[in-house]
Amino acid sequence: MFRIENCFFLDLCSGSGAIGIEALSRGSKKVFFVEKNLACVKLIKKNLKITKLDKHNNFKIICGDAREVVKNLAQQKFFFDIIFLDPPYYKNISQEILMIIGEKNLLREDGIIICETGLDEDLPDINTFDFYRCKKYGNCKINFIRRKN
């Protein structure tokens, strides 16, 4: 919780927006929701309204493919303290996005990436990242990643 307060938070493949909404409720300075499914984007807006977090100006909802959005955010010089990534499993999307994040230096020096993958899904060895912890839950893994010093 202490890391979320005043951080810049990127919720990639947001789905319902639950993770980003939680970050907002815990005091994130700014949350970017990225989702390509228009029905999910509408659901994020609805959930922000239900939680009354829609009245604040500390979030942005971006409808688009996470791979392209990450590149655009890097061009705009955005850097994030926490990046949460939960794309569809077993489609190599996690791998592609992590490669782009590493290549474009989107993660702040002391930031973390939390990447949810399928249980048997392997992530690439990226020499800019340290995969420092992995928790297994049912049919998925939660991978904790930070920049190497």
How far apart CA 44 and CA 96 sit, in angstroms, is 24
Question: Is residue 3 packed enough to be buried (19+ CB in 10 Å), middle (13-18) or exposed (0-12)?
Answer: middle
For the chain, domain boundaries:
8-147
Mean of all residue pLDDT scores within the chain: 94
Q: What is the pLDDT of residue 2?
A: 53
pLDDT in tens, 52-101: 999 988 999 999 999 999 999 999 999 999 999 999 988 889 999 999 99
Residue with the bigger pLDDT between 126 and 111: it is: 111
Q: Is the pLDDT of residue 122 over 90?
A: no
Phi, psi of 110 (to 5 degrees): -105, 20
Superfamily per CATH, domain 8-147? Vaccinia Virus protein VP39 (3.40.50.150)
